[in-house]
Amino acid sequence: MLRGFLDEWEDGLLKEIRFHGMGGQGAVMGALILAEALFSEGKYSQKIPVYGAMRRGGSVTVFLRIDDKPIRRTCGIYEPDCIVVLDPLLPKFENVTEGLKKDGIALLNNPKPPEEVDLGVEVSTLATVDATGVSIEVFGERAIPITNTTMLGALSRVTGWVKLESLFEPIKKTFPGRIGERNVIAARMGYDRVKVMKREV
């Protein structure tokens, strides 16, 4: 079994993740894949979309909750345990770290190692992966690089909240055929290439 950098799953603890992306990068689809992967592990999951303008290029926020018991609350997530930012430019014009818990995790699509990234706030775990680079390698040049599956692979490694292998079936179900296989490769590359920096906050 592949293990994450952080602690193993702790029972009875609600985890809240907030995805930030641009329309077309697959934030909504990615969160749904993660929800299915978690469910296949016997955990409860809940995906709530906060659509901006529902079109390519607009910014999109998605909430995802994980728990070992049914999730009842339906409100948005204001103090996430983890943020996942699918686009390297997004932190420049959107306050992606708003409300992030003090011991929270920030996972960014960024080609730089975490030591060289200035998020503007101190976070206890900062992780980066060049998901745009992976997208170009795996899917080729596109107007809007698809980064969701790479970020999910990285998320698995950084948080340990979901097993990498659990992502594969929902990915293949969402993208049938060769595209699915490529997305599995992208998830593996995200898992392998993510870099993590921890510090006391």
Partner 1 sequence: MPMTKVMEGNEAAAYGVKLSRVEVIAAYPITPQTELISTLASMIARGELKAEYIKVEGEHTALAATAAASAAGARAFTASAAQGIVYMEESIWMPPGMRLPVVMCIVNRAIAPLGGLRPDHNDSLLQRDTGWIQIYCENGQEVLDTIIQAYRIGEDKRVYLPVAPCYEGYVVSATATPVEIPDQEEVDDFLPPYKHEMYSLYPENPRSPPRLMRSIAEARYEVQQAMERAKKVIEEVDREYGERFGRYYDGMVEQYRCEDAEAVMVTMGSITGTARDVVDELRAEGKKIGLVKLRVFRPFPTEEIQEIGKRVRAIGFVDRNTSYGAVAGCGIGCIETARALYPLDEHPLLLNYFVGLGGSDVTIPQLRHIAKRILKAAETGKPVKDVEWVELEKLEE
Q: What's the min distance (Å) between Cβ of 19 and partner 1?
A: 13
Q: What angle do CA 158, 163, 168 make, to 5 degrees?
A: 115
**Footprint of partner 1 on this chain (CB under 8 A)?**
32, 35-36, 39, 44-51, 71-76, 78
Count of H-run helices and E-run strands, the chain: 6, 7
Is the Cα torsion angle 11, 13, 14, 17 positive or negative in sign?
negative
Is residue 8 within 8 Å of residue 160, measured between CB atoms? yes
C-alpha closest to that of 193 among 133, 142, 140, 116 = 133
Shorter beta-carbon distance to partner 1: residue 38 or 117? 38
Shorter beta-carbon distance to partner 1: residue 169 or 181? 169
Shorter beta-carbon distance to partner 1: residue 48 or 185? 48
Is residue 145 within 8 Å of residue 131, measured between CB atoms? yes
Q: What's the min distance (Å) between Cβ of 73 and partner 1?
A: 4
Q: What's the min distance (Å) between Cβ of 46 and partner 1?
A: 5
Q: What's the min distance (Å) between Cβ of 168 and partner 1?
A: 16
Shorter beta-carbon distance to partner 1: residue 31 or 123? 31
